[in-house]
Structures are given as C-alpha cells and as structure tokens.
Chain A
C-alpha cells in the first residue's frame, strides 16, 4: 500500500483530517515514518483500533474508573471534620457560605453530623469512617484528593462533566479519548468497557460512554450482566457454530470476489477483517467475563459469597479480568439499591444513615478486594484505580436526615501505577464544605489530565480536529496534579 492510499484509508476509517496521524501524536512522526505508523504498516492497517504509542512512556496500561453514582457524602467516608461534629445542629456560619449559590429548600439546613466513628489507618494515618473498614486497609495504597470541585447543582450536568468534560452532551467521554489515543491492546475485545449494576443501564445511558464528536468506533461498549456481555454477541437461536463458521467462509469468498474489482480499497478489506474479529469476539468476550475458573478464595475476596456484595464484586472481578486482557479503560458504575421501599443510588437527600450504610457495604469489600487482588497479581503497578463521583454532599443537613449536593469541596482518590500512595492532596474548610485553599482545587479537568498523564498522554497534545477546532479532552482547562504522582 502506498502512502496515498494509506492516507485515503485513514481518512475513511475515521482518523479524519487532523486525527492522530496528522496531529503528530508521536513527535516528529510524519506519515511515512516512525512512531505508530510504522507499526501500523507492519500490522494490518485496516483497523482504527490499531495500537498506538503514547506521547511518553505511561505508568499504567489500564484505568478502572469507579464511578459512585449519585454522589456519596465523602464527609461521612474519608473527610473527617471534628469541627462539624462539634457544630452539628447549629446554623451554618455565614463565613463558610461565601461565594456559593445554594438552594434553601426546607430552610438552609443546620450543620449535620452523621452517626460515625472515625479511625486512622496505615503508615499514612489517613482517616476512614466505620462505613469503609475494608478500603481503610489500603490507606497506604491510596492518594486522596480532598479538594475536588466541579460545576453544577444537579447530577445531570455534573455526571456529564465527570465523564466527558462537557456541561452539555456532545463531548467524548474520557474512555473514548483513551481508546482514540492508544487504540486497542487486544483486538478481540473492545478497548473501552462499561460495567454497571442492576438490570438497567445507568441513567443517561450511552451518553455517559459516548464517543461524542470522535468517530463512533471509539465509544464505550456496555457489558451486560450474564454470560453474553455484548449485544448481538450470540448467534441467532437456531444457528449452530458449524453453520456460522461455514457462512463466514462463504462471506469471505464473496467479499474477496467483489474486492478483485477494487484492489486498493482498504475500507472493503477492513470489513472482511471485521468479521474475523467479530467471530473471535464471540469467544473472547464471554471468556473474559466467565468467573468459573476463579478460585473460591478470589471470589470471596470480592465478596461474591455474600448477596450484598455479589453483584458489584462480580463487576470488579470482571474488571480485573479485563485488565489482564489488555482493556484500556473500564468504567464501573454503581447501581441503585432499595432504601426504604425506593430504588436509590448514593443520592441521600434523606435517610443518609440507611442509604450510605447500604451503599458503603456494597462497594467497600469489593473495592478493597480489587486492590488486594491487583497487588498480589502484580497488576496494581500498571493499573490506575480511580474512586470518583460527580460531586459530594453538603455539611448541612437536608430534611434533617440527609445532605444536599456539594460541588465546592469533596473527596476522590487514586490508587495504583505511578500514584504517590499514602498521601493526601488538598483539604476542605473546617466544616468540609468548600476547598480550603482554592489554589489546590482539583476540577474534573485536572483529574482527567492526571489520569491521561498516567497513561503516557499529554492532555494538551491529545488533539482531534473537529469542525475546524482542535479539540482536546480537557476542553480549554486542566492541569496535571503533580503532587499526586510518585
């Protein structure tokens, strides 16, 4: 294939003008030499997911993005505020409210402390509440961001922003950017997988793992529960494997025959290869999520032996198996649980005790198990685990038993490859409402920049040209938080 037809191919298979190839992801690499292109030449060029080199050697190969859907109160998990306990029941002092817009439903509630006990763990002495005793065992593996901020008073906007950086739908999710930048390390599986709890997709659905303006091939693939994780993975009901195999042979023959008239047409060739890949995926995807060969000890580690933790634990064990198989980005979304007759996610406007009691129980053991397992398998160094949510919750109570949304100061954490384990970056004020030192505020863009950095990607150089504009994952914002990196 000559350069021109290769270029033609790239255009048609979705790199587009100004895509990776032209924006020079590999510094100095032109079309005809160096970097990923030479490997692409050697490999089958007919795949937009061909593996590509990062900007610089990355610390990790995979990211597990643990989205705590509904926004947990990190004040009741990690961010210990003795002052809040002391002031509980009093009005919020005006000085703490400076610069923020609030709702006054039911009157701006009085400061609220839940019924927690707190302890310090590990060498680092990080505080954990009694809700997360298992995660606490990993105190020294974790780097806390206690100065997280974001935009938006509703889940809608903030979840969108957490996943894609956009306040309106239309931007690619972080996983899509990663897939676009690095391609797939395992052609037999999607490189960007979404796992969720419950029978239903997370609210907002596919928008949460959308490719946005990137070619659709980079969007996340939602893995369903059960044996067959991908839509249309199973053969039609009455078609035997032998039949399908025979059919595919015929298909290849027909396509090759037609292709004789179009010898240079890489797009037609790509379609032939796509059927080969699809056939392999039919075996590799179910195998990737099949836990039957996992030991009882491993299953117990993830809480699969307990009804409460079984579903989330299954997702996390699947996530580990996907990491082992080279999947780049695994987005795990928590699901709803029955709180006093209603299906609720972490969104505890009321009944925080019951809500967080249940949700923490569901995730605590599996997440701790995941970290333990990754470590013992030697995978933690090459995997980044991100515990994240769209925002946190207020220091004041709502309806007396819950907390409202807090976009001004909350906790997220990182663990794994290249992370400065056992540290804490930033802090909130004495009542845990706003970031104490605004210069240390970590917005979602900064989190994205930092995650990309760990994968060897410079968020400023990861460019896709869309409608004349050079788009990047962090819009026009973002900085790598160096203090979080070892």
Chain B
C-alpha cells in the first residue's frame, strides 16, 4: 500500500498498475457537490452508491525510485539543456545574462551587488544615494515588508541596541525565519492565484477545501521551496509527484477559476475555465498578456492566435476534482469530521427519508436534470459511457461535479408546479414534493449544527486518470463554436524554438509537465525576471519593470535592465531560493536608505525611478488590519487552518453568505485567514485596495478615498482595538502621561514622541477632557474607556475616555498607515 501512487489509488488505477483492485473515488457517479460542500454534505449522492473513499495512503514519502513511470517524469529528467533561440527581438525574450559589475566612484556604499547596479545610474546622473535610515525606522520598515505587521517595541529596541557588526544580518535572518514571513509572502502570491474560498458568480458557492492551498503556499515560502519546484507543483504536481499530497494540493493554483455551477452550457464552461487558467498562467509566470491573442493575433507582441490556443491545449484535459480524501488527517480534519458527524447524526432520519423519496424517481429525475443542459452539452450527456471521447468524459465529469440531490428534487418541484401540464404529473408526485419540501424545512433547523468552515477533502486539478486529451482548435474571434485549425500543445514561437517534450503517463496526458518544466527551466528568459521583479516591487513600491505582469511590448521597459538581470541570474544561481533573494534585498544599501525628502532628487528624478531616496509606501489593507491587531495586543497568532468569518457591520446585507464564526478567537486572526467570499469582500479591508479575487491581481494600487477614512475612524471593531491599545499602553507605561505617549508612539511608530508632538497631544488631552465632560453633562453618561486593564488602576473615566480618543486618532494618522 505504501508504495502505491496516491493518485492512482484515487482513480482506481491501482489494479492496472499493480494487479490488485482498489476502491476508488467514483468520478462520474459521485457528485462532488454532494460531498464537497458542507452546505449539501451528506444529502446523499445523486445517481449512485455511497462514496467509497480509497483507503488513505499512510505515507506521502517520495515515490520509490524503481517506479519507472514517475522517474520518467522527474523534472531533472526533463531538464532542458538546449540553448534557446528566440524569434522576437523583444528584450524580455532574450536570455538572462549576468551583467558585469559597473565601475563606480563611491564603492563604500556597495554592500551587495544590488547596490552597484542601483548606484551606477545615480552616479551617471550626478546624484548621491540617501544616508541610511535610522535603525528604528528601518526595523519598522523591514518588519512590515517581511512580515506584514509592525514590530513590537522590544523587537525595535533589540535591534536598535544591537552593537554587533552583524546586527542587520541577524535582523534579516530573524525576519526570514519566522512563520510570519510565509504569511506575508503568501498573501501576495494568493493575489496572483486569484485565491478565493468561493466560486463567484451569482450563487457564489463555498469552496470548502481551498484553504489547504493557502496553507501550502505559506509553507512553501516558510520552507523556502525553490521557486522552480513551486511552479512545477502548482502546474503539474499531480503528474510529477502523484504520490505526494502536497503536490496535489498545489494544483489548487489552477482551481481558483470563477465558476457557476448552474451553467447550462457545459461546453462553454470548459472553454471559459481553460481560458481562465491559460490567461492566469501567462500573466503570472511569464508576464505575458497572452489573453490578447484569444480573439485575434496579439496587437503588440508576436503572439498569434495559434500560439494562444496551443498554450490552452496544455490544459485541455484538466478537470477540477474536489472530493479527494485527505490522506493523513490532522486536527483540522478531525475537528471538521467530528462536527459534521454531529449534524449527520441529528439529521440522519430526515435525510434518509428524502433519499427514499428521490429513490422512487431517481431515473426520470436524472433525465429531467440532464435535459436542462443545452444542445451540444446534451449530446455528450446522453451518450453511453462506452462511446465517450475525451471531451465527453470531461463534460460528464463536470455534470457529476455539479449535480446533487437537490438537482434531482427539482424534478418533483417542476412537475408539481406544472399544475398538470407535465406528462409525469400525478397526485403522487405532488405529494412527494410536498413531503420532500417539508423535510427540507426540517433540515434547515439543524443549520447551526453544521460546520461553517473546514473540510476533510482536497481540491485539485487533474486529468481524471486518463492520458488522452480532447482536441484543441484555433477559435475564430475567440468564439468556441467557431473552430478553425486543430492545434497541438506548443510554446509561443516568438519566445522559444523549443518544442514541448510530452510523455503521457498512465493517468495523465503529461502535457502540463512539459509546460511546467519549460516555465521552470533556468533558460526560460521570462520566469526568473518576472518573479524577481515582483519581489522588488513589494519592497520598493515599483517594479524595475513597472508593468509587473506585462513584459511584452506594450509593457514598460525595465528602468534598470542590468539590475533586473543581475537579480534574475543570481536568483537562478542560488537555486531559485526566494529567501536568499529577500535577504539580498533586505541587506542592500538601497533598501537601507532614508525616505527623507530631498529637493535635489525631487528635481532630478521626480518619480524617484533611480531610487536615490527610499520610497515611502502606504500599507496594504492586510498590513493595516494586522498591525492594528498587533498594536492592540489582540492578534490571534495561529498558523493556517480553515478560513474564518470575523464580524461585519450589521447593515452589510450579506445574509447567509457571511455567517460570523462562532469561535471569538477567529475574529482576530491575520487577514489572510479571513474567508474570501468573491461576492462579499471583507468590508474592513475592501476600501484599502485589497486584491480582487476575480482574476490574478498583480499590483496593490494605492488610492485615497473618504470611504477609507470612514472605515478606520468609525468602525466599531477598529475603535475597540483602540480601546485595547489604550489599555495596553496604560498597563505598560503606568499612570504617567508623558510615558504613556512615548509608549503609544513606540508601539505604533517604533519611536518615542517628540516634544512638539507631546505638546500637541497633552494640549489635546486637556481640552478633550472638557469636551467629553460636556458630553456627559448633556446626560449621555456612557464613555469609552481603555479595556484590558490589569491590576487596580485608578482612572478618571473622563480623562481615560479622552485618552482612548487620542489613541484612536493617532492610529488613524498618516504615520501609522504608511511605512517610511
């Protein structure tokens, strides 16, 4: 058992490979919708027997070396050695070349090679770089960039007082070693994966397994998984490491396409899903706007429609499978199953009765359901299994994927409501529907028992155990009903002459392995450039190529091509280590510069493209919320797990799309654990330019609007955090007001308050105390006081309320919302 391939077992291929029969997931008769989503969990399954989960694989250790099939597909075996020649002269398609280190005047500024490349153009322009930022500002900056939260005052003083020559190295290593690093980096990758916990469109169903992919990404960054391997796992983990659950979860990258389960046009759905995946891959890994070539040849880049559909062909056989049992159950699975079992037990009788009703009409009901699909979908649906081609197989799997017991009950409803017009209409059907409907109402009473989040299954993208793929065509005007020439999987000709090396496996076409290996190859001119540029953008607010997802002709050219190539080349040389890339940047003089305004720079380089000054940056939505949580001392520091639903304003109107978590600990988790409901962006983050999960989100824009001010100033939740922060300040600083102000500034800004600030704040307190007192004199006695106070603090409630307002106001200030 241990040696069996995890996927092979699931697809029931165990027998074909080892001579033993194995139980397997029945892909075509076990509707995923019925088992994948807690909302419909255990309502039985539509067309056939109970799901028989395969015996969990006990181990996910690497496959035995004697397994030929897998060995053939190991990335090393497929490593491409041939030098690539390129047809287009576009700069980004040329091979990455290690640039020579430039000659410089001020060599002492150069701490890492990065600095040499930054300094050269500055010297050419007669500019000097800025002096180092003071240490406190630096540690706040670096912690926000690496972790996504502000540092504690202790972390700040620890660094400021570190007199050892390796203080900066120690800081960088400490930051990169913390799991918080993975959480922060994962968030930006999830933007690119269009990560969501729901399907989008009108129904916006929950996708209960996606958090496993989120955790996979966090772990990948924390373990410093080589970026090349990270790519291969996400694009072809199922083909390359079929025994490895992590690799299967990684394919969730492709599973985040927006979807509408009730679509009646399965053929169109397949096309749209494939389009979404292709466009995302092109944009994210290659920095190419390939989607521009879907309807016509690319207007700027030498990417033809043929290239585009050849790229789509790599994904032609790819299906979403949401019911793969978790091999090794952990706490999350056990908790979920225990909760689900309670609901199942409580509702067993009702569900059995419903199933019994459906059983009496299962056949006509399934036929009725199938008839709702449009002409070309129906052709595949009503074909006997023996006649299915690869496309039919895809469509029928999709049908099973979206069919649940309720879809069959629709037959009873529709026939009943026809009031005699349907040929099957009879008093019995009417009675059955009435009974079924009544049972559904009864079932609703147990809603609260159901686990709102979590799962014990995996969502992955695989090829359903088959190696033959449906044909792909160039489509006239991008219309899937207007097929032109058939195409085979191929890389864009303008980028490479190389041809994909496709070796089908027993359970998959092998196409994506070929694609993943090409993308992850050290000779691919785009992959490393695109990634290092994204990381650079995170630190400096602007990419070396400003259009981070467009390295094509219409995109911006690199402001510093040598720097870009140095970073890319070095990244590959360092084994695609993302942490080493971050470390190099963190330790550079370029990153250490002060952000103080310089008139000479403003004149000579007004957009600061040359980076003679460090660019200050507004915090991203999650950095704001998570830092407020850290400041208030309320952050729930737990890594990973199912997504959570913190409270939302009462007038949001999200209904059952946002059922607030029952466990109050969930309220204060880091923002990347907040459930991503595509139709209900979490309001606290929304106005601060959080990523839209509708498609790959390349850049966090900065816009400034009054809605942001309203959110931060008026949200009861934020205000409560300010009360907690006020309490923390008093606990830590005692009753001395100047000491309190210093402590507040240390927590929020990593520095003490200046005399002029103290002066302003002290004056405010004195006056504000009167304002609060006047309010209470009007008969409104309740005031907001600091919370979480320890010991017997003797506070004047009026003065304390004034202090809460002070704290709340300071958290709203520019210095908090920016990192300088």
Q: Contacts of B419 on A, CB cut-off 8 Å?
A: 400-401
Please tell me if A156 contacts chain B, counting CB pairs below 8 Å.
yes
B656: nearest chain-A partner, CB-CB? A200
Given A236-B784, A263-B597: A401 touches B374 (CB 8 Å cut-off): no
Set A8, A105, A243: member contacting B414, Cβ < 8 A:
A105
Q: Is there an interface contact between A257 and B760, defined as CB atoms closer than 8 Å?
A: yes
Please tell me if B810 contacts chain A, counting CB pairs below 8 Å.
yes
Q: Contacts of B415 on A, CB cut-off 8 Å?
A: 106, 399
- A237-B650 Cα distance, complex, nearest whole Å: 13
Q: Contacts of A226 on B, CB cut-off 8 Å?
A: 651
* Residues of B bordering A, CB below 8 Å: 200-204, 258, 260, 262-265, 272, 275-276, 283, 289, 292, 295, 300, 368, 371-376, 378, 414-415, 417-423, 546-547, 549-550, 552-556, 596-597, 602, 606-607, 616, 618, 649, 651-655, 657, 677-681, 683, 686-687, 689, 692, 694-695, 698, 701-711, 713-716, 719, 756-757, 760-761, 764, 767-768, 771-772, 774-775, 780, 782-784, 805-806, 808-810, 812-815, 817-818
Q: Is there an interface contact between A105 and B371, defined as CB atoms closer than 8 Å?
A: yes
Set A4, A17, A204, A268: member contacting B201, Cβ < 8 A:
A204
Given A228-B651, A351-B417: A246 touches B701 (CB 8 Å cut-off): no
Please tell me if A438 contacts chain B, counting CB pairs below 8 Å.
no
Please tell me if A250 contacts chain B, counting CB pairs below 8 Å.
yes
The smallest C-beta distance from A113 to any residue of chain B, in angstroms, reads 14
Q: Is there an interface contact between A103 and B374, defined as CB atoms closer than 8 Å?
A: yes
Q: Is there an interface contact between B719 and A350, defined as CB atoms closer than 8 Å?
A: no
The smallest C-beta distance from B285 to any residue of chain A, in angstroms, reads 14
A234: nearest chain-B partner, CB-CB? B714
Please tell me if A120 contacts chain B, counting CB pairs below 8 Å.
no
Q: Is there an interface contact between A251 and B812, defined as CB atoms closer than 8 Å?
A: yes
Given A156-B203, A246-B767, A261-B597: A169 touches B695 (CB 8 Å cut-off): yes
* Chain-B contact segment, one of A205-213, A286-294, A301-309, A455-463: A205-213
Q: Is there an interface contact between A14 and B701, defined as CB atoms closer than 8 Å?
A: yes
Q: Contacts of A217 on B, CB cut-off 8 Å?
A: 703-705
- A215-B808 Cα distance, complex, nearest whole Å: 28
Further pairs besides A14-B701, A201-B680: 13, Cβ < 8 Å: A7-B607, A14-B702, A103-B371, A106-B414, A200-B654, A201-B655, A207-B201, A232-B713, A233-B714, A234-B714, A239-B719, A242-B775, A399-B414
- A329-B422 Cα distance, complex, nearest whole Å: 45
Q: Is there an interface contact between B710 and A232, defined as CB atoms closer than 8 Å?
A: yes
Which of A221, A254, A267 counts the most B-chain CB atoms under 10 A from its CB?
A: A254
Q: Is there an interface contact between B702 and A5, defined as CB atoms closer than 8 Å?
A: no
Q: Is there an interface contact between A274 and B772, defined as CB atoms closer than 8 Å?
A: no
- A25-B375 Cα distance, complex, nearest whole Å: 45
Q: Is there an interface contact between A468 and B550, defined as CB atoms closer than 8 Å?
A: yes
Please tell me if A123 contacts chain B, counting CB pairs below 8 Å.
no
Q: Contacts of B705 on A, CB cut-off 8 Å?
A: 48-49, 217, 274
- A5-B608 Cα distance, complex, nearest whole Å: 11
Set B549, B602, B706, B719: member contacting A281, Cβ < 8 A:
B706
The smallest C-beta distance from A344 to any residue of chain B, in angstroms, reads 12
- A246-B651 Cα distance, complex, nearest whole Å: 27
Q: Is there an interface contact between A13 and B704, defined as CB atoms closer than 8 Å?
A: yes
Q: Is there an interface contact between A251 and B813, defined as CB atoms closer than 8 Å?
A: yes
Set A104, A203, A225, A240: member contacting B371, Cβ < 8 A:
A104
> What is the 8 Å Cβ interface bit string for chain A, positions 185-219, against chain B (1 contact, 0 not)?
00000100000100111011111001010011100
For chain A, which range describes its interface: under 10, 10 to 19, 20 to 34, or 35 or more residues? 35 or more
Please tell me if A159 contacts chain B, counting CB pairs below 8 Å.
yes
Q: Contacts of A375 on B, CB cut-off 8 Å?
A: none
Q: Is there an interface contact between A201 and B414, defined as CB atoms closer than 8 Å?
A: no
- A168-B774 Cα distance, complex, nearest whole Å: 55
- A468-B716 Cα distance, complex, nearest whole Å: 41
Q: Which of A78-126 contact B (CB under 8 A)?
A: 101-107
The smallest C-beta distance from B179 to any residue of chain A, in angstroms, reads 30
Given A226-B651, A246-B771, A250-B809: A215 touches B371 (CB 8 Å cut-off): no
The smallest C-beta distance from A417 to any residue of chain B, in angstroms, reads 29
Please tell me if A258 contacts chain B, counting CB pairs below 8 Å.
yes
Please tell me if A38 contacts chain B, counting CB pairs below 8 Å.
no
The smallest C-beta distance from B649 to any residue of chain A, in angstroms, reads 5
**A interface SS class:** loop
Q: Is there an interface contact between B378 and A104, defined as CB atoms closer than 8 Å?
A: yes
Q: Contacts of B687 on A, CB cut-off 8 Å?
A: 216
* Residues of A bordering B, CB below 8 Å: 2, 4-5, 7-8, 11-14, 16-17, 46, 48-49, 101-107, 152-157, 159-160, 167-170, 190, 196, 199-201, 203-207, 210, 212, 215-217, 221-222, 224-226, 228, 230-240, 242-244, 246-248, 250-251, 253-255, 257-259, 261-265, 267-268, 270-272, 274-275, 277-278, 281-282, 349-351, 397, 399-402, 467-469, 476
Set B701, B706, B771, B805: member contacting A274, Cβ < 8 A:
B706
- A255-B680 Cα distance, complex, nearest whole Å: 32
Q: Contacts of B295 on A, CB cut-off 8 Å?
A: 476
Q: Contacts of B678 on A, CB cut-off 8 Å?
A: 169, 205, 207
The smallest C-beta distance from A129 to any residue of chain B, in angstroms, reads 22
Q: Is there an interface contact between A167 and B806, defined as CB atoms closer than 8 Å?
A: no
Q: Contacts of A239 on B, CB cut-off 8 Å?
A: 719, 784, 805
Set B264, B368, B683, B714: member contacting A153, Cβ < 8 A:
B264
Q: Contacts of A16 on B, CB cut-off 8 Å?
A: 701
Given A230-B707, A399-B418, A400-B420: A154 touches B264 (CB 8 Å cut-off): yes
Q: Is there an interface contact between A216 and B703, defined as CB atoms closer than 8 Å?
A: yes
**What are 10 pairs between A and B in contact, CB < 8 Å?**
A12-B702, A105-B371, A106-B371, A157-B263, A200-B653, A215-B689, A224-B651, A267-B618, A271-B704, A467-B283
Given A103-B372, A156-B263, A467-B283: A203 touches B679 (CB 8 Å cut-off): yes
Which of B415, B701, B768, B782 counts the most A-chain CB atoms under 10 A from its CB?
A: B701
Q: Contacts of B677 on A, CB cut-off 8 Å?
A: 205
- A160-B263 Cα distance, complex, nearest whole Å: 13
Set A8, A248, A278, A351: member contacting B606, Cβ < 8 A:
A8
Q: Contacts of B707 on A, CB cut-off 8 Å?
A: 190, 221, 230, 232, 278
Q: Is there an interface contact between B680 and A274, defined as CB atoms closer than 8 Å?
A: no
Q: Is there an interface contact between B552 and A400, defined as CB atoms closer than 8 Å?
A: no
Given A203-B679, A205-B679: A251 touches B654 (CB 8 Å cut-off): no
Set A152, A169, A203: member contacting B258, Cβ < 8 A:
A169
Set B421, B546, B703: member contacting A397, Cβ < 8 A:
B421
- A106-B747 Cα distance, complex, nearest whole Å: 67
Given A238-B783, A247-B808, A263-B597: A400 touches B418 (CB 8 Å cut-off): yes
Q: Contacts of A155 on B, CB cut-off 8 Å?
A: 202
Q: Contacts of B760 on A, CB cut-off 8 Å?
A: 250, 253-254, 257
Q: Contacts of B704 on A, CB cut-off 8 Å?
A: 13, 46, 48, 217, 267, 270-271, 274
The smallest C-beta distance from B712 to any residue of chain A, in angstroms, reads 8
- A154-B377 Cα distance, complex, nearest whole Å: 14
Q: Is there an interface contact between B597 and A168, defined as CB atoms closer than 8 Å?
A: no
- A473-B662 Cα distance, complex, nearest whole Å: 42
Q: Is there an interface contact between A401 and B202, defined as CB atoms closer than 8 Å?
A: no
- A212-B375 Cα distance, complex, nearest whole Å: 33
A6: nearest chain-B partner, CB-CB? B606
Q: Is there an interface contact between A281 and B258, defined as CB atoms closer than 8 Å?
A: no
Q: Is there an interface contact between A467 and B549, defined as CB atoms closer than 8 Å?
A: yes
Set A49, A204, A281: member contacting B679, Cβ < 8 A:
A204
- A96-B234 Cα distance, complex, nearest whole Å: 48
- A229-B258 Cα distance, complex, nearest whole Å: 30
Set B556, B757, B772: member contacting A257, Cβ < 8 A:
B757
Q: Is there an interface contact between B546 and A17, defined as CB atoms closer than 8 Å?
A: yes
Set B202, B418, B649, B764: member contacting A350, Cβ < 8 A:
B418
- A387-B806 Cα distance, complex, nearest whole Å: 50
- A234-B651 Cα distance, complex, nearest whole Å: 12
- A14-B420 Cα distance, complex, nearest whole Å: 59
- A52-B812 Cα distance, complex, nearest whole Å: 30
- A265-B618 Cα distance, complex, nearest whole Å: 12
- A242-B553 Cα distance, complex, nearest whole Å: 56
The smallest C-beta distance from A479 to any residue of chain B, in angstroms, reads 16
Q: Is there an interface contact between A236 and B716, defined as CB atoms closer than 8 Å?
A: yes
